[in-house]
Chains A and B, each alone.
Chain A
Amino acid sequence: METENKRNFSIIAHVDHGKTTLSDRLLEHTQTVDTRVLTSQHLDSMDLERERGITIKSHPVTMNYKCKSGTVVQLNLMDTPGHVDFSYEVSRSLAACEGAVLLIDAAQGVEAQTVANAALAVSQDLDIIPVINKIDLPSANLELCLKQLEDILAIPAEDAILASGKSGIGIEDILEAVVSRVSKPRWNDCEQTRVLIFDSVYDAYRGAIIYIRCFSGEIKPGDGILMMSDHTRAEVKEVGVFSPHMVKTKSLRAGDVGYLVCNIKNVSEIKIGDTITNAMKPATEMLPGYQEVRPMVFSGIYPVESSDYEKLKAGLGKLQLNDAAFSYQSESSIALGFGFRCGFLGLLHMEIIQERIRREYDVEIISTYPSVVYRVEKADRETIEVDNPINLPDPSHIERILEPTIRATIHIPNEYVGDILNLIMDKRGVCHNTETLDGSRLMLECVVPLNEILIDFNDRLKSITRGYGSMDYELGDYVEAKLVRMDIMVNGDSVDAFSCIVHTDKARARGKELCERLAEIIPSHLFKIAVQAAIGGNIIARANVSAMRKDVTAKCYGGDISRKRKLLEKQKEGKRKMKNIGNVSIPPDAFIKVLKSD
């Protein structure tokens, strides 16, 4: 097909604004997928994605659409992830496009991620097609949406297409707009082959399957290729398109989106955003926008049963095959035994990986308090990076500690501004700009330490604003802060898995909270248990687990000793499943429960 009859576009939206449902309608309308085989949310293939209603891995798909003028146009749709943790993946998917359908929920209006995604699309020079979705909802507020479109995003209201993914309204209008408003494939005048990697998945039989957009030249089986970021060489085994399942083709050319299989097995060797070129006739310049992805959040993952260590290791290895943004290396904890230090893009990414280990690899795990990467300048001028509180040097050796921050954009209804400013302050953040979006909404721009938003910032934002607030963020600078390590002790024994790095101003409150929560979770024992928080040698907070009051079965006769004994054995086994710190048994889920806010 002629390059000029190809269109590459993406659908971008705030979480839950109906992106995946709309994609399904486009597939149906272009008969790419038979309606009968179309399970709801076709493109989300992971169970977890379907359950959580979010897309984690983006799935491209190629559709052939016969437009009103009669021409058949090849439409390549990139369905992007909708969560901030995966914003780099979003940016790479966008980089593979010339246009974007910007979806706005008619009942929710413009939200923080709508703005962030629109800005991302604009920065990539994409043609934007605004679509107001879910217009058939009773709570739809069309007028407000159109006004927000002009006021906040500076997009003319008359450009907007009204649609409903659910009932199929406006689907054809959207397809027509993609053909007429999205530019023809760009950068196809380069003489050498340049192919963008925007994702990859692992296949047990074929190794890494690389999702690509070909910008110029051609790529086909047998080609010797070169990864431009690190000069890795490989040979192409297979190329093909998604329609929506993988279908082999002879080659991929300028303007095509598809997949590539080469003799690279590990997904971790594939760098998202990298440019592939032909090794024989290499391009001199990479496609723009490549970044090395680095984990932002770290946490220890340990098997509940130490005998599951190998199983966990194998599971992590397989997960990494499919997820280059996830990293792990072995570590050990006094409290938890042998396990792994794992790095994630963000908290959602962390939760998803943990859940997948449990479900797909059937290993019960304990995870430790998540940590960001601190930069510690030591007295001897050496700077080290610390992602595990245990590794924080002795305070006497520390000159200063820097912590990562984020630049957050928060959208909220006006009436919650006081509470949200308090929340930001509570999280040690600074709000440096407040802007009125329309009569009823505000946009706050602030800088907040990353470690403060790890646990519950988004949850609290949502609960304060009754679900109407939204947030987007990007990484900011490292900033000096007064940080210390706080240890949690159970009956005098330090439980390293609970150690965390906290700001001195917040240590007491945080220590008290941790102690109290842990004291609630630890079941009554024969003896009283003290749960203490300490900085250095100083106890700063304490809570008690009172001793068990009564545990005795009155009836024990009729000679049935074995029944009674079995009962005791069962209780004994129950205790064995817990983590024993000194003589205190801690239920495995305590570690997670302590971290979750109420």
Chain B
Amino acid sequence: MEKFDKMAKLRGDSLGIYLHVPFCSTTCDFCAFYQEAPRRQGIVEYLDGIDRELSLIEAPEKKVDTCFWGGGTPGLLPAGDLDRLCKAVVSKFGQPQHEWTVEMAPSSVRKDKLQALKDNGVTRISMGVQSWDDGLLESLGRLHTSKLARKALDLVQEVGFESINLDLIFAIPGQTAEQWRSDLSKTLSLGIDHISTYCLTFEEDTALYVKLSEGKVSIDTEKETAFYRVSWEETERAGFEQYEISNYAKKGHECLHNLNTWRMDEWIGVGPSAASQSELKRYSNPADLKNWLGDLKEGRRGLASEPEVLDAGILFEDCLIFGLRMNEGVNLDTLKNRFGRDLPESVKDSMEQLEGEGKLVKEGGKLRLTGEGRLVADAIGTELLGRFSD
């Protein structure tokens, strides 16, 4: 019994469900997520596969707190399919208690889809607007125009959801600081309550990466830094609070599902390429519709690779490194209570140095990054990770 309690403690409190919908009508130049071109046959197989996978998952003993549908473009599915998918998830896990997000692309938003989602209890719509500048949108390979995005948002607001998030991308080649400021202020004035701003990344296997390696575009760290700071200023001015590296929300509208991830609680991933962290294991589904289906047809959930077994050590490190991505930071007492350990001396030394350089603040039992620290969060993560193994 005692052992069971300890396990439960390590695993954290909340449970999320992540559902991956791999279909996209086109591939954006910056996207490295797993996706498939939508064909009716493929969609039907996918929906059948989800049913099979859900039937193979053991019902969790915890109630589901949050649900998040990402992709791909979940909103690409027709209303009828969305309805079927919602019902399948709810009948398996029950109604998510606190939050249910579905990602949509402006080009595929339709009223009947939104209504189907709302009727099934979806509380939050997240839409990848990326920019309000049609020139930049085209350079990113996006299908929609700013006019279309505006129309899509009107529909979302008309149907009415508890929370609406818009994604924006900054430091796009050719983008000026003024363009970025205007993208932000326009977004923030539209009556939404959450905004995610992503610095354009050049990931392998993307069209942008190819352009980068061909020298057609370049990375400008100074520009990225300046634009990032502009995000802080504009969101604050509009009454939003930054709560993570890339996320800003009005009070009470933070994305709980993502907070749950950064706090190293549990989530179960459904659908091809979906990642799970559940019962002290970390694993991913095959990132390929065919392989994923093939395994399911044989009556098992296939895995992309051997699951990683989690212990107090790994989770402690991850809680610290990913926790520092959040503005609230990490509470060392909470960590000690959960994992039964303190920071190693080598990590403390490093933190003291970071404190001295104004990158980290320690208040009470809490550690958090300053703005300067947030700018180099990855380097800090690497540094701390290195110190753990010293």
Contact = CB atoms under 8 A, between A and B. Distances in A.
Interface of A: 525-527, 547-565, 567-569, 571-572, 575-576, 583
Nearest to A574: B382
B375 interface: yes
B201 A551 contact: no
Contact of B375 (A549, A558, A564): A549
Given A552-B378, A568-B321, A559 B18 contact: yes
Nearest to A567: B378
B376 A548 contact: yes
A553 B200 CA distance: 9
B315 to A, nearest CB: 10
A522 to B, nearest CB: 14
A554 B245 contact: yes
B131 to A, nearest CB: 15
Given A526-B380, A550-B228, A575 B386 contact: yes
Contact of B258 (A527, A549, A557, A564): A557
Contacts, number: 104
A562 B284 contact: yes
A565 B277 CA distance: 13
B359 A549 contact: no
Nearest to A560: B275
B275 A559 contact: yes
B115 interface: no
B151 interface: no
Contacts of A527: 353, 357
Nearest to B32: A555
Interface in B373-387: 374-383, 385-386
Interface in B46-83: 70
B21 to A, nearest CB: 12
A232 B386 CA distance: 57
Interface stretch (B3-11, B104-112, B218-226, B333-341): B218-226
Contacts of A576: 386
B267 interface: yes
Given A549-B225, A572-B385, A575-B386, A583 B353 contact: yes
A345 B33 CA distance: 58
Interface in B346-390: 353-354, 357, 359, 374-383, 385-386, 389
A526 B267 CA distance: 33
B325 interface: yes
10 contacts: A526-B376, A549-B375, A550-B224, A551-B375, A552-B376, A557-B258, A561-B264, A561-B318, A567-B378, A571-B378
A563 B385 CA distance: 15
B274 A559 contact: yes
Contacts of B201: 553-555
Interface string B228-260: 100000000000000001100000000000100
B202 to A, nearest CB: 11
B378 to A, nearest CB: 5
B331 interface: no
Contacts of B382: 568, 571-572, 575
Given A527-B357, A550-B224, A556-B322, A568 B284 contact: no
B143 interface: no
B276 A568 contact: no
Given A558-B33, A559-B267, A561-B282, A551 B379 contact: yes
Q: Interface centre among B222, B245, B382, by most A CB within 10 Å? A: B382
B25 interface: no
Contact of A551 (B16, B275, B321, B376): B376
Nearest to B197: A554
Contact of A552 (B33, B276, B377): B377
Nearest to A571: B382
Contacts of A548: 376, 379
B342 interface: no
The 7 lowest CB-CB distance pairs between A and B, nearest first, are A554-B198, A551-B379, A552-B377, A571-B382, A554-B246, A560-B275, A550-B225
A571 B376 CA distance: 13
B197 A552 contact: no
Interface of B: 16, 18, 20, 33, 70, 197-199, 201, 221-222, 224-225, 228, 245-246, 258, 261-262, 264, 267, 269, 274-277, 282, 284, 308, 318, 321-322, 325, 353-354, 357, 359, 374-383, 385-386, 389
B229 to A, nearest CB: 10
Contacts of B70: 557-558
Contacts of B357: 526-527, 547
A563 B322 CA distance: 13
B386 A552 contact: no
A576 B388 CA distance: 13
Contacts of A552: 199, 245, 374-378
Nearest to A562: B282
B275 A558 contact: yes
Contacts of B246: 554-556
A564 B198 CA distance: 16
B232 to A, nearest CB: 13
B308 A550 contact: no
B386 A557 contact: no
Q: Interface centre among B277, B284, B375, B386, by most A CB within 10 Å? A: B386
A353 B374 CA distance: 47
A562 B267 CA distance: 13
Contact of A554 (B199, B267, B321): B199
B261 A526 contact: no
A569 B222 CA distance: 26
Nearest to A565: B318
A558 B389 CA distance: 27
Nearest to B246: A554
A57 to B, nearest CB: 42
A525 B321 CA distance: 18
B383 A526 contact: yes
Given A549-B221, A554-B201, A561 B322 contact: yes
Contacts of A554: 197-199, 201, 245-246
Contacts of B16: 559
B378 A526 contact: no
A261 to B, nearest CB: 53
A549 B267 CA distance: 34
A550 B379 CA distance: 9
Contacts of B224: 550
Q: Interface centre among A548, A550, A565, A571, by most B CB within 10 Å? A: A550
Contact of B385 (A526, A553, A568): A568
A561 B198 contact: no
Contact of B198 (A547, A555, A565, A572): A555
Given A558-B70, A571-B379, 19 more contacts: A526-B354, A526-B357, A526-B383, A548-B379, A550-B375, A551-B377, A553-B378, A554-B245, A554-B246, A557-B70, A557-B258, A558-B18, A559-B267, A561-B277, A561-B322, A562-B282, A562-B308, A568-B382, A572-B382
Contacts of B385: 568-569, 572
A555 B282 CA distance: 19
A206 B94 CA distance: 81
A559 to B, nearest CB: 5
A583 B357 CA distance: 14
Given A557-B258, A561-B322, A551 B354 contact: no
